[in-house]
């Protein structure tokens, strides 16, 4: 069944790997035109070619959306190339272990700048670009927004802030723009993650397994096409982990 994305223009930050890449591929399969950005120029072009091979028009931009220059560069390029913007997915993020006693001001600022500041200013620029036609903004949050992780406090704070940003934007941009968030659970495990630990982790999830980026991408596509009466919501894609 078609989702109604054909001809739409979707911009995805951090679109070269993981959830961002999976979402870009899903949008492309559904006929949307896709723009992605990343700080790595080689990965951006490689992913853009991969999307074009799926039969869509794709644009790859090397930009750092934690800076105002990077935001302007990315959103400006999307409008210049496609002439419009319908969907923004704020996916770019950094995930760094930061024990309380060892966290530096630079780490705090970097995590907030990418995970929260980038989403705010990309949304600000996207809202201007969407204009009266309106559109959708989808933020990628995390179960860490509602569960305390002592070794990742700045990351969790940034994702909790992203949940409140979603609600604030939803109120500020209604009724022309709908803003929602997807909160992934255990989706991407580090390379070399021990098999025994993987089994123990999966056993604690009601669905009995860890997730996959495509699970999250499906939720992103839902918010890109759902009724416009749905806004300011957070959908946790975590196999039921937050229900426990």
Return the H-helix or E-strand segment holding 236: strand 234-237
Whether 127 is covered by a domain: the verdict is yes
- The tokens of 135 are what? 């559109």
Task: For residue 177, give the CATH number of its domain.
Answer: 3.40.50.720
Considering the candidates 121, 155, 223, 236, report the single residue annotated as catalytic: 155
Spatial contact of 155 and 144, defined as CB atoms under 8 Å apart: yes
Residue 46: the pLDDT is: 96
Residue 2: the pLDDT is: 61
**Is 229 in the active site?**
no
What pLDDT tens digit does each residue of the chain (244 aa) get?
Answer: 567 899 999 999 999 999 999 999 999 999 999 999 999 999 999 999 999 999 999 999 999 999 999 999 999 999 999 999 999 999 999 999 999 999 999 999 999 999 999 999 999 999 999 999 999 999 999 999 999 999 999 999 999 999 999 999 999 999 999 999 999 998 877 667 778 877 888 888 999 988 999 999 999 999 999 999 999 999 999 999 998 8
Whether 244 is covered by a domain: the verdict is no
Classify residue 34 by its DSSP letter.
Answer: E
Angle at the Cα of 150 from the Cα atoms of 195 and 137, rounded to 5 degrees = 85
Whether 2 is covered by a domain: the verdict is no
**Which domain range does residue 93 map to?**
9-237
Angle at the Cα of 213 from the Cα atoms of 134 and 48, rounded to 5 degrees = 65
Whether 47 is covered by a domain: the verdict is yes
User: Looking at the 3D structure of the chain, how many domains does it have?
Assistant: 1
């Amino acid at each position: 069944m078609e989702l109604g994305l054909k001809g739409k223009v979707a911009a995805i930050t951090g679109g070269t790997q993981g959830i961002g890449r999976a979402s870009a591929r899903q949008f492309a399969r559904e006929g949307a035109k896709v723009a992605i950005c990343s700080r790595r120029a080689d990965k951006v072009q490689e992913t853009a070619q991969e999307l074009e091979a799926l039969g869509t028009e794709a644009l790859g931009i090397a930009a750092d959306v934690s800076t105002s220059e990077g935001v302007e560069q990315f959103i400006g390029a999307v409008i210049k190339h496609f002439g419009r913007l319908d969907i923004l997915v704020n996916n770019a993020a950094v995930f760094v272990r930061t024990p309380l006693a060892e966290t530096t001001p630079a780490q705090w600022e970097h995590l907030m700048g990418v995970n929260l500041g980038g989403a705010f200013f990309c949304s600000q620029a996207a809202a201007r670009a969407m204009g009266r036609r309106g559109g959708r903004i989808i933020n990628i949050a995390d179960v860490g927004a509602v569960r305390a992780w002592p070794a990742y406090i700045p990351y969790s704070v940034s994702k909790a802030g992203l949940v409140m940003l979603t609600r604030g934007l939803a109120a500020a941009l209604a009724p022309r723009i709908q803003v929602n968030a997807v909160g992934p659970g255990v989706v991407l495990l580090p390379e070399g993650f021990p098999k025994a630990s993987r089994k123990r982790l999966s056993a604690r999830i009601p669905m009995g397994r860890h997730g996959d980026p495509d699970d999250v991408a499906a939720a992103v596509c839902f918010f890109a096409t759902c009724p416009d009466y749905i806004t300011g919501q957070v959908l946790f894609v975590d196999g039921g982990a937050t229900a426990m």
